[in-house]
Amino acid sequence: MTDKHVMDPRETQDFQEDEISLIDLWRVIAKRKRLILITVAVILSLVGAWLLIAKPIYESRAVLGVGQVGPIESPQLIVQRLREEHRVKDRSEGAQTLPAVTEVKTMEKVLANGVEIIAQAHEAQAAQHFLAEVVAKVMKRHQKLFDVGRAEQTKQLEALQQEAERIEQSLALIEHRISALVGSEASLAGLLTLQKDLLVQRLPQIAQQQTTLRLAMSELQSTPTVVLRTPTLPIEPVSPKPVLYMALAGVVGLMLGIFGAFFAEFIGKTRKQLQVTSKDQPF
């Protein structure tokens, strides 16, 4: 004999009530479909009207490869400096008027010395032109810093070379004097020999400093800032996005319409119950 599951009458009743409630919900939606459609149409019309009057926002993008001559200016420092200069995401003094720099960030994950700058404007060419001015200002500043750093390195290299030449001349003079003093003033010759040894020890140090400085001036360690991507000319605006906004408006309108339909149904039923109750009450 096999056991068969017998549905509890209470479960059957709950299932039937759920089924009936779903049917009732669908009947309410069907009954109030006009209200739902009107709500959707109104929301779509409002969003459509806003899209017609809203000014488009275009976004231009540029990428800099920050150079170094010591370095010139670290990517993190230039990011912070530009954010402060252009009040990026800072509304303490009110909303920014376009065109404006809207984002400055490093590109550490893909480029160690990369800095990305983004500007926005109501016209594509205005965004590109404004960003080009910002980039040109940065490039001018960095070129000046690079030239100053390179000039300082060249000055140091020349000073080391002059010091080496003076030491060579001093050594030649000391050699001549030591040769003249041999056999006559041994103590003075000893002092000159000690001085000679000190000067000879300095020459390898100068050579090492020159090598280090030349390496720092090489292209491996000394490069100017370059524009890796010139300010782009945007084709489409980043905001507003008509398709996305209209789709969202349709969804919101549908939700509001369904909510309004159930609310209207609730008001209608409440009104009927009040009318029935008032008729049943004796005067």
**Three-class DSSP labels, 198-264:** HHHHHHHHHHHHHHHHHHHHCCCCCECCEEEECCCCCCCCCECCHHHHHHHHHHHHHHHHHHHHHHH
- SS3 for 15? helix
What tokens appear for 249 in the block? 């408006």
Contact 261, 35 (CB under 8 A): yes
Q: Which residue has the higher pLDDT, 179 or 250?
A: 250
Q: Order of strands across the sheet with 226-229?
A: 100-106, 114-121, 58-65, 226-229
Given pLDDT bands bounded at 50, 70 and 90, which one contains residue 183?
A: low
| Domains of the chain listed by start with CATH number | 58-229 (3.30.1890)
Note the pLDDT of residue 278: 67
Given pLDDT bands bounded at 50, 70 and 90, which one contains residue 60?
A: very high
Res. 272: pLDDT tops 90 = no
The pTM of the full predicted model, rounded to 2 decimals, is 0.68
The string of pLDDT tens digits covering residues 131-178 is: 999 999 999 999 998 888 888 889 999 999 999 999 999 888 888 887
Note the pLDDT of residue 165: 92
What tokens appear for 205 in the block? 């140090």
What tokens appear for 111 in the block? 């480029």
Share of the chain above pLDDT 70, in %: 87
Q: Which residue has the higher pLDDT, 257 or 130?
A: 130
Res. 5: pLDDT tops 60 = no
Res. 6: pLDDT tops 50 = no
